């Protein structure tokens, strides 16, 4: 399910720390699908597939997958509580939407539509 981010600790309207974004491999894009995964997570593979397909379909969208266990500071800073978690970032690096579990492709495209 894709949720609005009003309760998200990173959703105060401020841009995420540019250094944190660089460390996670987030570059310039109209929107970024930032996925937090773990090694033995079967749903993470499904999110990877759906996100990669959507990023390939929608111009200007990048998919970046991050191993949560290797980036514990970022996980804490962004309030990631489980994997998979997918953050939809706008071009300025703000978290616009958040999904836990496996979003359907139409849901993900609709979430990007609100950002683009």
Which tens digit of pLDDT belongs to each residue from 1-36?
A: 676 554 344 444 568 999 999 999 999 999 999 999
Q: CA–CA distance from 93 to each of 19, 30, 39, 53 (Å)?
A: 11, 10, 26, 21
| Owning domain of residue 35 | 2-115
| Residue 111 CB-density burial (10 A; 0-12 exposed, 13-18 middle, 19+ buried) | buried
The string of pLDDT tens digits covering residues 61-114 is 999 999 999 999 999 999 999 999 999 999 999 999 999 999 999 999 999 998
**pTM of the predicted protein model:** 0.90
How far apart are the C-alpha atoms of 26 and 23, rounded to whole Å? 8
**pLDDT at residue 41, as a whole number:** 95
pLDDT at 15: 85
CATH of the domain at 31: 3.40.30.10
Place of tokens 């690096």: 93
pLDDT at 100: 93
Query: How many other C-beta atoms are found inside a 10 Å radius of the C-beta of residue 66?
Result: 22
Q: By three-state DSSP, how is residue 13 classified?
A: coil
pLDDT score of 73: 94
The DSSP symbol for 58 reads S
Domain count for the chain:
1
Question: Quick one: which H or E segment has residue 37?
Answer: strand 31-37
């Amino acid at each position: 399910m894709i949720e609005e981010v009003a309760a998200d600790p990173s959703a105060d309207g401020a841009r995420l720390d540019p250094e944190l974004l660089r460390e996670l491999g987030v570059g310039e894009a109209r929107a970024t699908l930032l996925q937090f995964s773990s090694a033995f997570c079967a749903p993470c593979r499904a999110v990877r597939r759906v996100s990669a397909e959507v990023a390939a379909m929608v111009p200007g969208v990048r998919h970046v997958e991050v191993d949560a266990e290797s980036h514990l500071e970022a996980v804490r800073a962004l309030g990631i509580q489980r994997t998979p978690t997918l953050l939809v970032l706008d071009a300025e690096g703000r978290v616009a939407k958040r999904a836990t579990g496996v979003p359907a492709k139409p849901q993900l495209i609709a979430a990007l539509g609100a950002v683009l």
